[in-house]
Amino acid sequence: MTEPRDMTGASDRPALARLLGGAGLAFVLRAFGAACAFALNVAIGRLLGAEGAGLYFLALSLASVGAVVSRLGLDHALLRFVSRGAARRDWPGVRGAFALGLGLSLAAGLGLALGLGLAAPRIAAGLFGQPDLAGPLRAIAPSICGFGAMLVIAESLKGLGRVRDAMLVSGVLYPVVALALIWPLAGMFGPSGAALAYALGTGLAALYGLRAWRRAVPAEPLGRSLAAGPLWRSARSLWVMSLVNSALLPWAPLFLLGIWGGAEEAGLLGAALRISVLVTFFLAAVNTVAAPAFAALETRGDREGLHRTASRLALAVLLASSPVLAAMLVWPGRVMGLFGPDFVAGAPVLAILALGQAVNAATGSVGYLLMMTGHERDMRNAALLAAAVMAVAAFGLIPAFGAVGAALAGALAIAAANLTNAWQVRRRLGFWVLPR
């Protein structure tokens, strides 16, 4: 039973406090995972140098795109369906939706991983003009299955409200495992060893997540309350959004730079990309607990509660992100220099990417607001607009300005996507998400 509210919203403060408490736990885990991921990328830079790191990041870009494709939008769709099913205590339906979604994602991931492994020599030499890229591509190909399954499972755990397990699966275990393996494997096999460490980390994280899911959900027979049709209809629009937001926006500039530039420039951009996402790591932590809360508020028809919760969480994200953003804007050379002296030249690249991520942080959880209130198509349209911005900017800027042009294209596209989502929230839900 929900507690009655007065018009001031004072009576829902305990619920907001619990939400922020969950976000605090997610923040701690996310911060630890981000620190491990940062240490992993620093180790890659120092062990491999700019050129070797460029080969690794190019391989990572293709595997990451493959993982997004393999998820088929089912990770975000399962977040919504599992959240609603858990609220109704429909455990057979929850288990059925999860089994269907994970099975489809694994099947797609296996096919893409095999395809990448077999086509690695042709992609390396024919597309990038880098024959040495074939080894890292083969080594990282299994991570398409591992990373895809890892995120499908993590989003499903979020739907259950299992914040700790979701964060361990999606942001902690794989960088910890990869960091432990990077020194021996990269030392022996160079960029291929680094790629193998990443693949092993994602696979082990997915296995842990599957075990956590089985512990969390009552062992009841699979239900027929959810047919494949409703899940796929929700996933279809979310898949387009995921392809743009999780594949095109972060990785297309690196991919194009690898074709038009060289491995060294790709290394600079890849390192800067991995650092710049630290601006939004608290936003990712907040989203872990915000999504189920948004779904519950929408189910009750509490638009005032949605507005208040989203705005207060946006304020928390902005305050937490500001010190990280300031460091990247004031001392970008020093931050990039942590990877080694070869990376200091990427200072302007980092500053530009950080500004794009700042827009993401300032707009708050607008994407999850649209997703959890049934407006997946609006997210898709925003993603398509961002893709158009990316295409125009990339083809106009990368050939002329190299890594700096690639960073500008990425930052403009991220800003376009988030500002459009913020406008869609105003149009659909009747309020602006402003930090307050």
Q: Which of 205-209, 216-220, 337-341, 426-430 has the highest mean pLDDT?
A: 205-209
Of 371, 374, 406, whose CA–CA distance to 155 is shortest? 371
* Half-sphere exposure of residue 186: CA atoms within 13 angstroms, side-chain side: 26
Q: Provide the 8-state DSSP code for 2.
A: P
pLDDT over threshold 60, residue 194: yes
pLDDT value at position 11?
Answer: 44
Locate the domains of the chain by residue range: 12-429
pLDDT value at position 7?
Answer: 33
The Cβ of residue 62 has, within 10 Å, a number of other Cβ atoms equal to 26
Residues contacting 379, CB < 8 A, separation 6+:
237, 238, 241, 367, 370, 371, 421, 424
Average pLDDT over residues 199-223: 87
pLDDT over threshold 70, residue 8: no
pLDDT value at position 228?
Answer: 56
Burial class (CB in 10 A: 0-12, 13-18, 19+), 126: exposed
Confidence band of 330 (pLDDT split at 50, 70, 90): very high
Pick 171 or 52 by higher pLDDT. 52
Distances (CA, A) of 185 to 191, 200, 206, 379: 9, 11, 21, 40
Q: List the single range of 65-74, 172-181, 240-249, 305-314 with lowest mean pLDDT.
A: 240-249
Q: How far apart are CA 100 and CA 169, in angstroms?
A: 20
pLDDT over threshold 90, residue 307: no
Helix, strand or coil, per DSSP, at residue 180 = helix
pLDDT over 70 for what percent of the chain?
Answer: 89
Both tokens of 82, joined, read 């599992």
Angle at 147 between CA 144 and CA 148, to 5 degrees: 75
The counts of H helices and E strands in the chain are 17, 0
Q: Which of 261-270, 369-378, 393-402 has the highest mean pLDDT?
A: 393-402
